[in-house]
Amino acid sequence: MREPGFETLCAHAGEDPQRFSGAVIPPIFQNSLFVAPDVESFLVRGHRHPDAYDYTRVANPTTDILEAKLAALERTEAARCFASGMAAAVAAILHGVRAGDHVVAVETAYGPTRNFLSGYLERFQVAVTFVEGSDPQQFADALRPNTRVFYLESPSSMVFHLQDFAAVTGMARERGILTIADNSWASPYFQNPTALGVDLVLHSATKYLGGHSDIVAGVVAGPKERLRAIKDQEGSLLGSILDPFAAWLMLRGLRTLPIRMERHQSSALTIARYLEAHPRVARVHHPGLPSHPQHALARRQLRGTSGLFSVEFAERDQRRAFAMINRLRYFGLGVSWGGFESLIVPMLFPSGNWGARLHIGLETVEDLQEDLENALKG
Ligand code: PLP
């Protein structure tokens, strides 16, 4: 029998309708507490039964279904959900470090994750070296005897730099270094970093996994032993668990992840190609375009590309750049991404050009192209 495909896993992994009177959608266990029928099942040799539900900060049946599905999608043994992508990133990093350790991280990682690594962890005598990351040798050059973690984000979400997972994780494994990768941009539909040697993969599930801009959530996925430790330590002690209602909404989002990602991919490529040929555009940064400096690695490492990329206008005048953005009708001016809607964030590029990060949503692509055409005309 063949292994179930990604779409089948989205529909069925972790689910058993017969547990819930045949309900095709599992209930939301919106309760903090579970009570036991008798003391014998409450306590086993003086301790709480390890497999029993007792408190939602520790485990909840709705969240368990979601975690089983996410582990199946990331091709890992286990997954743990968190109250945000930041909570997931912090949990994964804290799992890997002790006082006196050193981390090598990509400099284009999500800003608050960078701030946690460089600012917050300093309090606990954890040092960090940031590398550009496109050449694995940069990781080798940054190594110290106390390096314990490589923190990766590929493609990174503002400038879309990639790291070669196989090369970087091979080097890490030889030295007992934990590798962590933020996979929010690609989603598990287009990339499974653990298949290329990454130990722990994390997501801002606020983005594509939720997909509807109605939850803030995170996930860490990886081997059973590590996830058991993360659940007991960073999960339970720091307490930033996912609320069961948000878990249920993410389950709903995951059922359509493959078809959403296909549409994000095709519309984003259509718009990126259109912009690249436009006379008022200097450059488009999209790993799916042959003009991207790491296009060959993107083709090798990713099964596809998502809806987020950036564009440099041939425009140094801030006022004129902002006027173009203000003329847009369908693109919301907003920081997040991964939902059904198209979004734009203005950016000043190192070249001195103004431009924007675009998220291409699920609207009719001709409407989005016309919207950009009108904006660029003025
Ligand atoms: N990782 C990436 C790449 C992100 O873009 C974000 C948020 O924008 C995060 C992590 C943090 O996720 P959250 O906002 O869900 O805490």
Residue whose CA is at the smallest distance from ligand 1 atom 6: 204
In this structure, the dihedral spanned by the alpha carbons of residues 141, 143, 144 and 150, taken in order and rounded to 10 degrees, is 150
Boundaries of CATH 3.90.1150.10 in the chain? 257-377
Packing angle of the helix pair 61-73, 244-254 (nearest 10 deg) = 40
- Cα 16 to Cα 19: distance, rounded to the nearest angstrom: 6
Distance 32 CA to ligand 1 centre (A): 27
What is the helix, strand, coil percentage profile of the chain, to 5?
40, 20, 40
Whole-model pTM: value is 0.97
| Ligand 1 center from residue 317 Cα (angstroms) | 30
Instruction: From the CA of 156, give the closest atom in ligand 1.
Output: 3
Substitution site in 90, 158, 184 for ligand 1 pocket (most atoms within 8 Å of beta carbon): 184
Nearest protein Cα to ligand 1, atom 15: 85
Task: Among 90, 110, 250, name the best residue to mutate to test ligand 1's pocket (greatest count of ligand atoms within 8 A of Cβ).
Answer: 110
* Burial bucket for residue 208 (CB in 10 Å: 0-12, 13-18, 19+): buried
Residue located via tokens 């600012």: 119
Q: Which atom of ligand 1 is nearest to the CA of 109?
A: 3
- For residue range 36-46, list pLDDT tens digits in order: 999 888 888 88
Can you give the three-state secondary structure of 94-136, one letter per residue?
A: HHHCCCCCEEEEECCCCHHHHHHHHHHHHHHCCEEEEECCCCH
Query: Which residue of 117, 200, 206 sits with most ligand 1 atoms within 8 Å of its CB, as the best mutation to test the pocket?
Result: 206
Among the atoms of ligand 1, which is closest to the Cα of residue 218?
15
Which protein residue has the closest C-alpha to ligand 1 atom 11? 85
Alpha carbons 308 and 265: distance in angstroms, whole number: 9
Residue 269, helix vs strand vs coil: helix
CATH 3.40.640.10 in the chain: give the residue spans.
6-254
- What residues in the chain have per-residue pLDDT under 70? none
Instruction: State both tokens at 100.
Output: 């006196």
Ligand 1 centroid to residue 184 C-alpha, Å: 8
The sign of the dihedral angle between the CA atoms of 6, 10, 13, 17 is negative
CA–CA separation, 229 and 341 (whole Å): 37
Helix axes 257-276, 365-377, angle to 10 degrees: 30
CA-nearest of 90, 130, 108 to 310 is 108
Close Cβ partners of 345 (under 8 Å, ≥ 6 residues apart): 333, 334, 335, 356, 357
Q: Which residues line ligand 1 (CB under 6 A)?
A: 84-86, 89, 110, 153, 157, 182, 184, 204, 206, 216, 218, 336
Q: Indicate which residue's Cα is closest to atom 13 of ligand 1.
A: 85
Ligand 1 centroid distance, CA of 247 (Å)? 17
Instruction: State the architecture of 6-254 in CATH terms.
Output: 3-Layer(aba) Sandwich (3.40)
Q: Which amino acid is at 318?
A: Q
Radius of gyration (Cα) for the chain, nearest Å? 22
Which atom of ligand 1 lies closest to the CA of 184?
A: 3
pLDDT of residue 41: 84
Would you give the DSSP letter of residue 33? B
The pLDDT score that the predictor gives to residue 185 is 98
> 257-377: what CATH class?
alpha beta
Neighbours of 368 (CB within 10 A): 23
